[in-house]
A and B are shown apart, each in its own frame.
Chain A
Amino acid sequence: MPGLGASFGRGGATNFLEDLANSDCIVIEGSNMAECHPVGFQWVGEAKARGAKVIHIDPRFTRTSAIADLHVPLRIGTDIAFLGGLINYVLSNDLYFEEYVAAYTNAAALVREDFVDSEDLDGLFSGFDPETRTYDESSWQYETEEPPESAADDPAEAAEQRELDDDPSVRHSDQAQAAGSGGPPIPGKPKRDETLQHPRSVFQILKRHYARYTPEMVAEVCGIEPAVFEQVAQWVTDNSNRDRTTAWVYSVGWTQHSVGAQYIRTCSILQTLLGNIGRPGGGILALRGHASIQGSTDIPTLFNILPGYLPMPHALQHGSLEEYVADAAGKAGFWGNKRAYMTNLLKAWWGDAATAENDFAFDYLPKINGDHSSYRTIADMIEGKVSGYFLVGENPAVGHPNGRMNRFGLANLDWLVVRDLQLIESATFWKESPEIETGELAPETIGTEVFFMPAATHVEKDGTFTQTQRLLQWRDKAVEPPADARSDLWFFFHLGRILRARLADSTDPRDRPLLDLTWDYPLHGETQDPSADAVLREINGTGPDGRALSSYMQMKDDGSTSGGCWIYCGVYADEVNQAARRKPAKEQGAVASEWGWAWPLNRRMLYNRASADPDGRPWSERKKYVWWDEAAGEWTGLDTPDFEKHKRPDYVPPEGARAQDALAGTDPFVMQGDGKAWLFAPAGVVDGPLPTHYEPVESVAENALYKQQANPTVERIPGPWNRENPSMSEVFPFQVTTYRLTEHHTAGAMSRTLPYLSELQPEFFVEVSPELAELRGLTNGEFATLVSARTAIEAKVLVTERIRPIRLRGGQVVHQIGMPYHWSYSGLSTGDTANDLLGISLDPNTHIQEDKVSTADIVPGRRPRGPGLIDFVEEYRKRAGVQSGRVGLNGRDPVDADAGQGSKL
């Protein structure tokens, strides 16, 4: 979520679903909301009934397009060009919200003299190192008021810190994601030119950067006629001002790209220029795909962050707690309190063993020093570098791109624990996977020991999910899980208990973190299920008196308070599980603040200070939301103000102020070091301070804007099991996109096993246009085979005008193929796995794969069976000039003799 984090300071949806009803215009882009978030879509219907315009920008005509006033079928993978076109339209026609931009954004900030834009370097920014394919970001920084060194207590240390920031191993470990709550750190406050005329002001840089993104260029790159583009531009700008607001809705149609974070950045820039952030009916609504995706990043099981988006300590940078918080010392905004948040986490985990003398046990945390994300780990597994793997409700053999590579990873472990409701493909790969059929895998050669541990369903355990608008909702346990089925809470608590008992007498210092861990939760019932309520309370945190804290503002850095996740502090305020509140909607106002609990501090709309003008008055009566009440001396309104309650709008920080005191009464983006929304990101995004159009890694078209074809910093994981289709190859001439259906869920373990859902969508299909069907001789209802450098799969053909060929200027016709990705060989409804077709190349900010766009060939008929499949695909690779994809035993290197022995550890 660095796209939102680096723009506004927090990686969460800015508004909430019900608030869409207040929109005057809704643009849904990179999302098929009607299909994938059907019940949330009722709020789009509500807005439409009140007269709002609804625009759907998507390569496919879908259930969402059917409801929209306008469907814009842009070519897959060209959203930055389209949105960049809108930015240019807004800037060159002076349609931006002037007072908003002047007061609440970094438009006036000056950027360093040595910054060079991608317009002048044919698609690269200054600071690019072709060898490591990473950027040194120092030239993107603001020109600061004072030399940056003087801001820190120890200038030498601060300088060294910045140098380390640019080390490739630090870059690759994705510190960008730490901006999920608390914008990226900046060395100091920028110099400003309030007239916005200075050539190095962000505003002028922005203007120059997008000047070539004209309607004609949009037509050439996206295949959208200038008249259609004008219509979108007109509706959006007509509905973005003091009286009116436009909302943007996106989901994985944006994130799953090699430039995914930059897609979101482009939208953030546009919505900021239009003054739509922090206002009712405006904002950017990130629709998460799973019950708790938001929760899984807030309290992450992610390698690079700790709860509350605190970065995981890095070996090069963070030898001590002091070094860990060095980038925050003396800073404005969130970073000023980093020490307190970290100390509270350490106290929550290590209790009395965490003292001021031992740096609050900071040393107990393991350190990262590179990319340890899941795809890198899969490649490591194939090389025998990983011994054991836990899969907890996840099915990479189907749900990840390049299933074959994932299954090879599983085949080279010593052991695998699968916790799920059903025998998913990731548990049965050793006996039933497609590679058994091709002969690349066999049970006798696979040494992986597999434990299938039955899990509890959502009604068989207590706990909270954090849904798409940062809202925590508590579930009560309805019944006990059957037989040996247990919750994941049970599993990990008891595994921890057993491990601690085993090591109880150990004197090895490496076991101290485990033995000193606070691991004492009330246990209930026959199965000794740990109390989720007690865990939630620990996450919330407690004060010196042992009572639950009610706000992270109460967290101290001296060890007197403790709390596991600072952004969730308040969910247990007043010793009440606030997430369990279910006051009926009819009994409260439209914001429904007493239904569940939203982070931070139950604020439902982020940055809502911006719904008032700099003086604290609503921008208009119609869009009134949060305002300054002079008589009461406080902020008030329909929602909890996302601002210090008593900070006056005319507050100016005194010299030397730090943390939140260093932000003015007109700085609504309280998590940013300068309190502003970032049109230009001087830090926090590793592939450029401004979004730039690049073609997808696998594209059939040439980049019309720059010589640089694709994102120069894209991450690749090369190997025979992850070959890439060359761009503009005649062998792989068609663009492919994957998507979901209402009736199924991701890798299918929770839907292909259910009779109702399997009956509703019984088989795997691909959507092609009548033109492509004719070109390739495909027949509706018959099989077709799709081929990439990874493998070949087959599916039933659905010929439909919902997918249309895109005609680019210059006459090139781009054919696109749509492919739902829910199927595999197990369950009630079976089929080939769409994801097997895709390769893995990653957004350098997020390590998220580009699976919304790739290339392939499609031919009529079924795919070859058995070993013939390998030869068939190898022939394609040869023709396309791609290296061989043949592998040795269990997917290992052909000469690797150890295969079948598990890991080499």
Chain B
Amino acid sequence: MPGVKTWLESWPVYRQLTGSDPLGRGKAARSKATEATVSRTATADRVVKSVCPYCAVGCAQNVYVKDEKVVQIEGDPDSPISRGRLCPKGSASKQLVTSPSRVTTVKYRRPHGTEWEDLELDTAMEMIADRVLEARRKGWQDTDAEGRKLGRTMGIASLGGAALDNEENYLMKKLYSALGAVQIENQARI
């Protein structure tokens, strides 16, 4: 009578009495749903190596991806610095990607406007390019009062966060300098 046996085994007390867990703190107390649960890290399609974006300890992360979605982020035990640990921020970092309030499309507010409007990415890029050239022209200074060369614009300023990649900071400084913009700053000052 396999049916009765299955029924009996679904009863924790029975498992407690007959199995290897007489105190009912482990296997005996586990439900069928728990049995069927598989961790997200086990079913991921791939694991990608990353680094926590919050503080400068730089804990190494393993990013688990399934169906091109991030399903879990864990500490990487290989790291000599973090040894697999993450603090609450690093552990929560998957929600940076999945946060329900994350905004993934361009928003535009016109001068004196009272609401946000939508804009195509390409349109926004072209509009920004127009404004950069205009601001650069308006704030251009060839020389100072004594005729010393400046070759710069005071029309454009920039402030970057310190979670920018080195490569990003590099391209920014390179482009801004070529444009003649000098008021280029970073959170590193703050």
Partner of A453 from B50, B85, B106, B126 at Cβ < 8 Å = B106
- A589's nearest neighbour on chain B, judged by CB, is B80
Residues of A within 8 A of B114 (CB): 431, 443-444
Residues of B within 8 A of A487 (CB): 168
| Chain B, interface SS category | mixed
Residues of A within 8 A of B81 (CB): 16-18, 39-40, 467, 469, 471, 592, 595
Q: Is A485 a contact of B177 with CB atoms below 8 Å?
A: no
A-contact 0/1 string along B161-177, CB 8 Å cutoff: 11111111111111111
- B95's nearest neighbour on chain A, judged by CB, is A754
Q: Is B160 a contact of A394 with CB atoms below 8 Å?
A: yes
Residues of B within 8 A of A565 (CB): 170
- B107's nearest neighbour on chain A, judged by CB, is A452
- Nearest CB of B to A291, in Å: 5
Q: Is A905 a contact of B139 with CB atoms below 8 Å?
A: yes
Q: Is B167 a contact of A535 with CB atoms below 8 Å?
A: yes
The segment out of A226-234, A296-304, A635-643, A678-686 that lies at the interface is A296-304
A298 to B128, CA, bound (A): 28
Partner of B167 from A18, A373, A471, A532 at Cβ < 8 Å = A532
Query: Among residues 143 to 187 in chain B, which have CB atoms less than 8 Å away from a CB atom of chain A?
Result: 144, 148-187
Interface centre among B49, B81, B149 (most CB of A within 10 A): B81
Residues of B within 8 A of A535 (CB): 167, 170-171
Partner of B101 from A484, A753, A903 at Cβ < 8 Å = A753
Q: Is B182 a contact of A366 with CB atoms below 8 Å?
A: yes
A902 to B111, CA, bound (A): 9
Query: Among residues 74 to 133 in chain B, which have CB atoms less than 8 Å away from a CB atom of chain A?
Result: 76-83, 85-93, 95-97, 99-114, 116, 119, 121, 124-129, 131-133
B38 at the interface (CB under 8 A from A): no
- Nearest CB of A to B149, in Å: 6
The segment out of A49-57, A267-275, A473-481, A788-796 that lies at the interface is A473-481
- Nearest CB of B to A34, in Å: 10
Q: Is B131 a contact of A488 with CB atoms below 8 Å?
A: no
- B104's nearest neighbour on chain A, judged by CB, is A483
- Nearest CB of B to A759, in Å: 10
- The answer to whether residues A539 and B48 also contact, given A316-B148, A421-B103, A443-B113 and a CB cut-off of 8 A, is no
A42 to B100, CA, bound (A): 33
Could you tell me how many residues of chain B have their Cβ less than 8 Å away from some Cβ of chain A?
Answer: 117
A450 to B127, CA, bound (A): 11
- Nearest CB of A to B84, in Å: 9
Query: Among residues 9 to 66 in chain B, which have CB atoms less than 8 Å away from a CB atom of chain A?
Result: 48-60, 63, 65
A282 at the interface (CB under 8 A from B): no
- Nearest CB of A to B47, in Å: 9
A476 to B119, CA, bound (A): 30
Residues of B within 8 A of A464 (CB): 165-167
A198 to B176, CA, bound (A): 51
Residues of A within 8 A of B154 (CB): 380, 385-386
Q: Is B48 a contact of A290 with CB atoms below 8 Å?
A: no
Residues of B within 8 A of A301 (CB): 158, 160, 164, 169, 172-173, 176, 184-186
B4 at the interface (CB under 8 A from A): no
Interface centre among A316, A535, A846 (most CB of B within 10 A): A535
- The answer to whether residues A290 and B54 also contact, given A499-B132, A595-B80 and a CB cut-off of 8 A, is yes
A287 at the interface (CB under 8 A from B): yes
Residues of A within 8 A of B172 (CB): 301, 392, 488, 492
Q: Is B50 a contact of A459 with CB atoms below 8 Å?
A: yes
Q: Is B140 a contact of A510 with CB atoms below 8 Å?
A: yes
A709 at the interface (CB under 8 A from B): no
Interface size range of chain A in the complex: 35 or more
- Nearest CB of B to A760, in Å: 6
Residues of A within 8 A of B175 (CB): 492, 495-496, 517
Q: Is A389 a contact of B80 with CB atoms below 8 Å?
A: no
- The answer to whether residues A390 and B90 also contact, given A374-B189, A459-B63 and a CB cut-off of 8 A, is no
Q: Is B188 a contact of A366 with CB atoms below 8 Å?
A: no
A568 to B165, CA, bound (A): 14
Given contacts A364-B178, A389-B156, A392-B159, 16 further A-B pairs with CB under 8 A are A40-B81, A292-B56, A302-B188, A303-B183, A307-B170, A372-B183, A388-B132, A392-B158, A394-B161, A399-B187, A449-B110, A464-B166, A476-B48, A510-B140, A592-B80, A751-B92
- The answer to whether residues A477 and B48 also contact, given A302-B188, A388-B155, A510-B140 and a CB cut-off of 8 A, is yes
A36 at the interface (CB under 8 A from B): yes
- The answer to whether residues A349 and B174 also contact, given A444-B112, A513-B180, A902-B111 and a CB cut-off of 8 A, is yes
B1 at the interface (CB under 8 A from A): no
A300 to B135, CA, bound (A): 23
A745 to B181, CA, bound (A): 30
A669 at the interface (CB under 8 A from B): no
A736 to B87, CA, bound (A): 27
Q: Is A493 a contact of B171 with CB atoms below 8 Å?
A: yes
Residues of A within 8 A of B126 (CB): 498
Q: Is A366 a contact of B181 with CB atoms below 8 Å?
A: yes
A846 to B186, CA, bound (A): 12
A898 at the interface (CB under 8 A from B): no
Residues of B within 8 A of A17 (CB): 57, 81
- Nearest CB of A to B104, in Å: 4
A884 at the interface (CB under 8 A from B): no
Residues of A within 8 A of B153 (CB): 366
Residues of B within 8 A of A745 (CB): 54-55, 89
Q: Is B128 a contact of A39 with CB atoms below 8 Å?
A: no
- Nearest CB of B to A103, in Å: 32
Residues of B within 8 A of A482 (CB): 104
Query: Among residues 445 to 468 in chain A, which have CB atoms less than 8 Å away from a CB atom of chain B?
Result: 445-454, 457-461, 463-468
A664 at the interface (CB under 8 A from B): no
Residues of B within 8 A of A474 (CB): 49
Interface pairs (22), CB distance under 8 Å? A40-B81, A296-B187, A368-B152, A385-B154, A387-B131, A388-B155, A392-B159, A415-B128, A448-B111, A463-B166, A475-B49, A484-B105, A488-B164, A499-B132, A499-B133, A513-B179, A743-B89, A750-B96, A754-B92, A754-B99, A757-B89, A846-B189
A863 at the interface (CB under 8 A from B): no
Per CB-CB distance, the 3 closest pairs between chain A and chain B, nearest first, are A467-B58, A463-B165, A393-B161
A867 at the interface (CB under 8 A from B): no
Interface centre among B101, B149, B167 (most CB of A within 10 A): B167
